[in-house]
Chains A and B, each alone.
Chain A
Amino acid sequence: KAGVTQTPRYLIKTRGQQVTLSCSPISGHRSVSWYQQTPGQGLQFLFEYFSETQRNKGNFPGRFSGRQFSNSRSEMNVSTLELGDSALYLCASSLQSTNEQFFGPGTRLTVL
């Protein structure tokens, strides 16, 4: 069974731009969660989607948004990029009942 895939793996943007990251979950997984990882703040939860609905949300500004499609693929969008948004963005998928989350390799975003 294929794992969680994330595209692109690396991105370089400048301040003020916007970016869209993509995540394809493991086949059959309906829950997709996003996390931001930085050296200073560690791993922080962004949001979770289940069956195209945002089910849970972390403490991030409204510039961070996401969506999930009917095939469970998910996208995360960050608008008006700031230097502090430079991070590794991780996506994880899970079945509803197990709570065991499987992570993708991440997208490394650098904001200049």
Chain B
Amino acid sequence: AQSVTQLGSHVSVSEGALVLLRCNYSSSVPPYLFWYVQYPNQGLQLLLKYTSAATLVKGINGFEAEFKKSETSFHLTKPSAHMSDAAEYFCAVVWSGGSNYKLTFGKGTLLTVNP
């Protein structure tokens, strides 16, 4: 079965430090890859998406992700963490079957930013 794996259910960084959240998907190149962020008691907000136009994707709030086909990975990074980045982050993949698209999510990574 197709799957998405996020390594590390909880990542803790200091303010100003590099943020690296890992995401791997099962084999065969999926059409689309996404990162979403969820703040407490809110829905999901799209950070960025990969649609095969470029392997390095820039998103909102200074986040970016790099698609690496050989590693089946789509890790999320941010050079300098801010307190407001504390949230849960989800990697998601769309595998299409004809016109049927459905998002498959990873389990999520809770990011804590320490002052």
Q: Which residues of A contact B (CB under 8 A)?
A: 4, 33, 35, 42-45, 48, 55-56, 58, 90, 92, 96, 99-106
Contacts and interface: CB of A to CB of B under 8 A. Distances in A.
Interface of B: 31-32, 34, 36, 41-46, 49, 90, 94, 97, 99-108
Binding site secondary structure of chain A = strand
A13 to B, nearest CB: 20
B108 to A, nearest CB: 6
Contacts, number: 51
Nearest to B100: A56
Nearest to A41: B107
Contacts of A35: 103, 105
Contact of B32 (A56, A99, A102, A106): A99
A87 to B, nearest CB: 14
A43 B100 contact: no
B94 A103 contact: no
Contacts of A90: 43-44
Contacts of A92: 44, 103
B103 A42 contact: no
Given A100-B49, A103-B43, A104-B43, A42 B104 contact: no
A100 B42 contact: no
B102 A42 contact: no
B95 to A, nearest CB: 11
**Most A CB within 10 A of own CB, among B94, B102, B104, B106:** B102
25 contacts: A33-B102, A35-B103, A35-B105, A42-B105, A42-B106, A42-B107, A43-B90, A43-B108, A45-B102, A45-B104, A48-B101, A55-B99, A56-B97, A56-B101, A90-B43, A92-B44, A92-B103, A99-B101, A100-B46, A101-B46, A103-B43, A103-B45, A104-B43, A105-B41, A105-B43
